[in-house]
Amino acid sequence: MDIFLYVFAALFSVINPLGTVPIFVGLTSGDSLQDRNKTSLLTTVNVVVILLISFFAGTYMLSFFGISLDSLRIAGGMIIVTSGFALLTGTFSKHKGMKNKRVKKDLDNREKFSLTPLAIPMLAGPGSISLAITFNQEYQKWSAVLLVILAVLAVGLTIFIILRSSHYISKFLGDSGINAISRIVGFIVISIGIEYISTAVISILKTINN
């Protein structure tokens, strides 16, 4: 259960589905309840599939590009730390690519935004993808792999519940409430990123000393 809780907490903190609530509300403001639920489901499925592909293909990707686990941890940690700072400074949407002109065009079209920009890059961004690849290297036993899969599915279920309830959450918390929670989550995200970087640096130093 420790693996399940750790993977779930790490992915949930980096993904931060609450930060997507205002965007989701804006995109679906004119849709019916049935359409909003469909968009929530499609977005969740896309995120889960992306994370699982990243997890299972991680070993092959690292091997193909000749990337070590420590290098991945440092790179992923830096991405996660910047995501945390973006949450703290209130620039999360910009950090996730919402200021990009092509992403804005997708938002205006409102036809296939369950994949982009909601699933990519708002939810399944570089930080969560690098985390999934790292988990692939850390957990090799089938029992651990099963727990990781269950954690990813649990994160997906949580995302679906939050997106499906986004209009109610937005009314209850308001923009200031969501912003406050995102900033608190930012501290956790930064801590996770620093932990990954420090672990990799310690591992490299031990290798050099030996």
* Dist. CA 68–CA 181, nearest whole Å: 35
Answer with the residue of higher pLDDT: 105 or 80: 80
**Is pLDDT of 111 > 50?**
no
- Domain chopping of the chain, boundaries: 2-209
Record the tokens describing residue 191, joined without a space. Answer: 């801590």
More confident residue, 175 or 48: 48
Task: Report the candidate in 169, 156, 199, 193 with the shortest Cα–Cα distance to residue 50.
Answer: 156
Long-range contact set of residues 87-92: C-beta below 8 Å, sequence gap at least 24: 87/16, 87/19, 87/182, 87/183, 87/185, 87/186, 87/189, 88/183, 88/186, 88/187, 88/190, 90/179, 90/182, 90/183, 92/16, 92/19, 92/182
pLDDT digits (tens, 9 = 90+) for 45-103: 999 999 999 999 877 887 888 888 788 778 878 877 887 787 777 665 555 554 555 54
* In the predicted structure, residue 166 carries a pLDDT above the cut 90: no
Residue 11 contacts residue 76 (beta carbons within 8 Å): no
pTM of the predicted protein model: 0.74
The per-residue pLDDT for 108 is: 46
Distance separating alpha carbons of residues 97 and 105, to the nearest angstrom = 12
Q: How far is CA 102 from the centre of its chain?
A: 21
What per-residue confidence (pLDDT) applies to 88?
A: 76
Task: Give residue 190's pLDDT band: very low, low, confident or very high (50, 70, 90).
Answer: confident
Q: Compute the mean pLDDT over every residue in the chain, rounded to the nearest whole number.
A: 81
Alpha-carbon distance of 172 to 162, in angstroms, equals 13
Position 180 scores a pLDDT of: 78
Size (the chain), residues = 210
CA distance linking residue 123 with residue 12, whole number of Å: 10
